[in-house]
Chains A and B, each alone.
Chain A
Amino acid sequence: DTGVSQNPRHKITKRGQNVTFRCDPISEHNRLYWYRQTLGQGPEFLTYFQNEAQLEKSRLLSDRFSAERPKGSFSTLEIQRTEQGDSAMYLCASAGGASGANVLTFGAGSRLTVL
């Protein structure tokens, strides 16, 4: 297993466009998290999946944001009608299996730039 994979690594889009990010967690991990990180800040929690169920959503996740994890495998994070304030690094993390439910492994992130 090569760890948590995120694609694309960098996305530049114009304001108002829709973007989708994909996260492939470590295969044995049943927990999956999305975070947003802006420059000079620590990551902020967005949403959490346990298997295919989305169990928690942050108030940061406006109605323009939607996340899915069909079949409890990969996950997608879609942002509709992007705004300049959405520019950030979007991090995915997974946990579970032999490493334990409380140790999150992060991907390299998907950087979004909204022009």
Chain B
Amino acid sequence: AQTVTQSQPEMSVQEAETVTLSCTYDTSENNYYLFWYKQPPSRQMILVIRQEAYKQQNATENRFSVNFQKAAKSFSLKISDSQLGDTAMYFCAFLYSGGGADGLTFGKGTHLIIQP
């Protein structure tokens, strides 16, 4: 079974700063997907970014980018030019690409606070 670890329970930065959230995972699989989901105070989980393990190029989505290190089993999220609306819980998640029957395995989350 896979595990996902987020070692930062909470982070706080000033608006417009860049912040990096860390995530490590453990799996014996070779083909999988990694995700970052955002859960604002309204609690609906929103997909931020995803990475296919077979792709070496790091995924980017506007202000959001990842640093995927497959050998190190590390998958960090960088948020550039942070905005007040980025305040939320951020969850790193793993999905085995062999069937998806178990769905996503989530970390415990990082509470990101953007200060004005």
Contact = CB atoms under 8 A, between A and B. Distances in A.
Interface of A: 31, 33, 35, 40-45, 48, 50, 55-56, 89, 91, 93, 95, 101-109
Contacts of A50: 101
B103 A48 contact: yes
A43 B4 CA distance: 12
Given A41-B109, A42-B91, A102-B97, A56 B44 contact: no
Contacts of B4: 42
B33 interface: yes
B102 A45 contact: yes
Given A43-B106, A55-B101, A89-B43, 13 more contacts: A42-B106, A42-B108, A42-B109, A45-B104, A48-B102, A56-B103, A91-B45, A102-B50, A104-B104, A106-B44, A107-B44, A108-B44, A109-B43
Interface size class of B (residues with CB under 8 A): 20 to 34
B102 A56 contact: yes
Contacts of A43: 45, 91, 104, 106
B47 interface: yes
Contacts, number: 61
Contacts of A33: 103-104
A41 to B, nearest CB: 6
24 contacts: A31-B100, A33-B104, A35-B103, A40-B108, A40-B109, A41-B109, A42-B4, A42-B91, A42-B107, A42-B109, A43-B45, A44-B106, A45-B104, A45-B105, A50-B101, A56-B101, A102-B50, A102-B97, A102-B100, A104-B47, A104-B103, A106-B46, A109-B43, A109-B44
